[in-house]
Structure 1
Amino acid sequence: MAGTGKVDREFFEGYIYPRLGADRADVALGPRHGVDFGVIDADGTAVVTATDPVSVLPDLGWERAARFALGVILADVAVSGLPPSHLSVAFHLPPEMNDDEFAAVWGAMDEALTDLGTAVVTGHTARYAGCSFPWVGGATAMAVGDHDDVVRPDGARPGDRLLVTTGAGVEAAAMFASLYPDQIPADDAAVDAAAARLPGVDHVRGAVAAAAAGPVTAMHDATEGGLHGALHELAGAARVRVEFERDAVPLPDDVRAVADALDFDPWRATSSGTLLVTAPPEAADRVLDALRGEGLAAADVGRVTDGEGVVADGERVPEPDGDSSWPVYERLAGE
Structure 2
Amino acid sequence: PQLIEREFGPDFSNRAQRVFYQMSVVEDAMTAVSVGVREKGVVAMHDATECGIWGGLYEIAQAANLGVRAHKESIVVEDCVPELCHYFDIDPYSSISEGTLIIACREHKAADILKALSSKDIKASVVGEFTRPKLGMVLISEGKERKLEHPIVDPFWMAFYNALEKQTEEARN
Q: How far did 1:182 drift?
A: 4.0
Q: How far did 1:181 drift?
A: 2.3
Q: How far did 1:326 drift?
A: 0.9
- CA 1:253–1:205 in structure 2 vs 1: closer, same or farther (change >3 Å)? closer
Question: Aligned residue for 1:325?
Answer: 156
Q: How far did 1:304 drift?
A: 1.1
TM alignment of 1:121-200, pairs within 5 A? 178=1, 180-182=3-5, 185-186=7-8, 188-197=10-19, 198-200=21-23
State the percentage of identical aligned residues: 28
- CA 1:187–1:244 in structure 2 vs 1: closer, same or farther (change >3 Å)? farther
Please state which structure has a larger fraction of its residues in strand.
Answer: 1
TM alignment of 1:1-335, pairs within 5 A? 178=1, 180-182=3-5, 185-186=7-8, 188-197=10-19, 198-201=21-24, 203-214=25-36, 215-307=41-133, 309-313=136-140, 314-335=145-166
Normalising by structure 1, report the TM-score. Answer: 0.44
Normalising by structure 2, report the TM-score. Answer: 0.82
RMSD value over aligned CA atoms? 1.8
Amino acid of the residue matched to residue 30 of structure 2?
A: V
Which has the higher relative contact order, 1 or 2, with Cα contacts under 8 A spaced 6 or more apart? Answer: 2
| Structure 2 SS opposite 1:211 | helix
- CA 1:196–1:212 in structure 2 vs 1: closer, same or farther (change >3 Å)? same
Partner Cα separation in structure 1 for residue 94 and residue 68 of structure 2: 16
Contact 1:231 1:310 in 2 (8 A): no
Between the two proteins, the alignment pairs up a number of residues equal to 156
**Where does structure 2 lack aligned partners over 5 or more consecutive residues?**
167-173
| Structure 2 SS opposite 1:266 | coil
* 4+ residue runs over 3 A deviation: 185-189
Contact 1:190 1:257 in 2 (8 A): no
1:249-293 CA-partner distances (Å, limit 9, x unpaired): 012221111111111111111011101111112111111122222
Please state which structure has a larger fraction of its residues in helix.
Answer: 2
Contact 1:206 1:291 in 2 (8 A): yes
Amino acid of the residue matched to residue 312 of structure 1?
A: L
**Where does structure 1 lack aligned partners over 5 or more consecutive residues?**
1-177
